[in-house]
Amino acid sequence: MAATIAVLSQKGGTGKTTAVRTLTDVFRRLGLRVLAVDLDPQGNLSDYLDVDPDAFPTIGDVLTGRAKPAEAVHDGIIPANLGLAEAELVLGGKMGREMTLKRALSGLKGDYDLVLIDCPPALGLLTVNALVAADYALLSAEAQYFALQGVEQALEVIELARDSLNPGLEWLGVVLNIADMRTRHSREAFDSLREHFGEKLIDTTIRASIAYAESAERAVSIIDYRPDLGADYLNVADELLRRLRLDQARGRLAAMVNGASATAGVEAEA
Ligand SMILES: Nc1ncnc2c1ncn2[C@@H]1O[C@H](COP(=O)(O)OP(=O)(O)OP(=O)(O)O)[C@@H](O)[C@H]1O
Ligand SMILES: [Mg+2]
């Protein structure tokens, strides 16, 4: 049965979708069966994963009961488009509106090892649906002055989901994203998160680079586009697999990283 991880942040533009896209890619390279769920009407994850913009049905159709969940899986992703904004409104008037995604995913979870949900940049009904459907919440925080407040607000929503509908929800951790550790404000953001949340803060920060926008535009994973930067995500993936106790996949990741550095060594010698 798949472990379901909701990736969220209180603010927009913290690198959530890039994280879901890249981690999906890394976990799949390790042989894990990953279902990626785009729960943002912007549909960025669907774009990043190169889903046909006319793909039908989408998550909006599933949440409004117009389509069966299995029909909405296109190459391992349930895509979203602007129709999800309307679906959210429709959903708001329904009984059990917070449970809809959980119910939809329950029949699919047996087919996957991991389900990654990309949340929209708002702590509204869609994000609540993600938190009710999830076993784990992973926070993304941009390395800015208000990182701490953003994480605290997202944690309040996690608490709410836990207190009411999903007592088993675990906070997997927080990753400091789009960070330039040469700047004082990135270092201060890291230090304040460490001070408040201790080990919940993942040691590896995702470095800021224009290469991320370029790789998104070309629909190429950062792992292939700029392996030197992609190493950040490999380290984060390693830490997440440790926390998820997916030790075999973690071993395969270590072998992949060592294999890659051995190849790089051979190339350097040649
Ligand atoms: N490590 C990084 N360094 C620099 N830019 C990045 C990095 N990660 C993502 N970006 C860029 O920042 C922008 C926002 O990233 P992304 O879409 O992943 O954030 P998001 O949190 O999902 O945004 P939203 O809240 O709108 O859904 C994109 O242009 C993306 O290419
Ligand atoms: Mg996004």
Per-residue CA distances from 170 to 191, 244, 264 (Å): 23, 10, 38
Name the residue of 8, 9, 14, 18 whose CB sits within 8 Å of the most ligand 1 atoms, as the mutation to test its pocket: 18
Nearest-10 Cα torsion for 79, 2, 167, 87: 20
Q: How far is the CA of 241 from the centre of ligand 2 (A)?
A: 22
Residue 144 in any domain: the answer is: yes
Angstrom distance (rounded) from CA 184 to CA 164: 39
Q: How far is the CA of 14 from the centre of ligand 1 (A)?
A: 6
Q: Which ligand approaches the C-alpha of residue 140 most closely?
A: 1
Q: Whose CA is nearest to atom 31 of ligand 1?
A: 213
Angstrom distance (rounded) from CA 93 to CA 125: 11
Identify any residues that bridge with 141 across adjacent strands, giving them in sequence order: 176
Residue 243 in any domain: the answer is: no
Owning domain of residue 125: 3-208
Q: What is the pLDDT of residues 221-243, one digit of tens each?
A: 999 999 999 999 999 999 999 99
CATH of the domain at 24: 3.40.50.300
pLDDT of residue 157: 94
Angstrom distance (rounded) from CA 63 to CA 71: 13
Residues in contact with 178: Cβ distance below 8 Å, sequence separation at least 6, in sequence order: 14, 15, 142, 143, 206, 208
Angstrom distance (rounded) from CA 102 to CA 4: 10
Q: Whose CA is nearest to atom 8 of ligand 1?
A: 15
pLDDT of residue 259: 86
Residue 100 in any domain: the answer is: yes
Residue 121 in any domain: the answer is: yes
Q: What is the pLDDT of residues 179-227, one digit of tens each?
A: 999 999 999 999 999 999 999 999 999 999 999 999 999 989 999 999 9
List, edge to edge, every strand of the sheet that includes 3-8: 77-78, 34-38, 114-118, 3-8, 136-142, 170-177
Q: Which ligand approaches the C-alpha of residue 176 most closely?
A: 1
DSSP H stretches of helix in the chain = 16-29, 44-48, 59-63, 83-92, 100-106, 125-133, 147-164, 184-197, 211-217, 222-225, 227-244, 247-269
Q: Residue 52 corresponds to which amino acid?
A: D
Task: For residue 32, give the H/E element and its range.
Answer: none
Find the residues whose C-beta lies inside 6 A of ligand 1: 9, 12-18, 40, 42, 44, 121, 178, 206, 208-209, 212-213, 216
CB 177 within 8 A of CB 142: yes
Alpha-carbon 193 to chain mean position:
19
pLDDT of residue 144: 85
pLDDT of residue 146: 87
Q: How far is the CA of 19 from the centre of ligand 1 (A)?
A: 8
pLDDT of residue 219: 87
Residue 98 in any domain: the answer is: yes
Residue 253 in any domain: the answer is: no
In tens digits, the chain (270 residues) has pLDDT values of: 899 999 999 999 999 999 999 999 999 999 999 999 999 999 999 999 999 999 999 999 999 999 999 999 999 999 999 999 999 999 999 989 999 999 999 999 999 999 999 999 998 999 999 999 999 999 999 988 889 999 999 999 999 999 989 999 999 999 999 999 999 999 999 999 999 999 999 999 999 999 999 999 998 999 999 999 999 999 999 999 999 999 999 999 999 999 887 777 776 665
pLDDT of residue 223: 97
Q: What phi and psi values does residue 245 have, to the nearest 5 degrees?
A: 60, 40
Residue 233 in any domain: the answer is: no
What is the dihedral sign for C-alpha 29, 114, 1, 199?
positive
Q: How far is the CA of 14 from the centre of ligand 2 (A)?
A: 8
Q: How far is the CA of 40 from the centre of ligand 2 (A)?
A: 7
Q: How far is the CA of 117 from the centre of ligand 2 (A)?
A: 10
Name the residue of 14, 46, 209, 212 whose CB sits within 8 Å of the most ligand 1 atoms, as the mutation to test its pocket: 212
- The total domain count for the chain is 1
Q: Whose CA is nearest to atom 16 of ligand 1?
A: 15
pLDDT of residue 116: 98
CB 124 within 8 A of CB 89: no
pTM of the model: 0.96
Nearest atom in ligand 1 to the alpha carbon of residue 216 is 31
Q: What phi and psi values does residue 195 have, to the nearest 5 degrees?
A: -65, -40
pLDDT of residue 268: 64
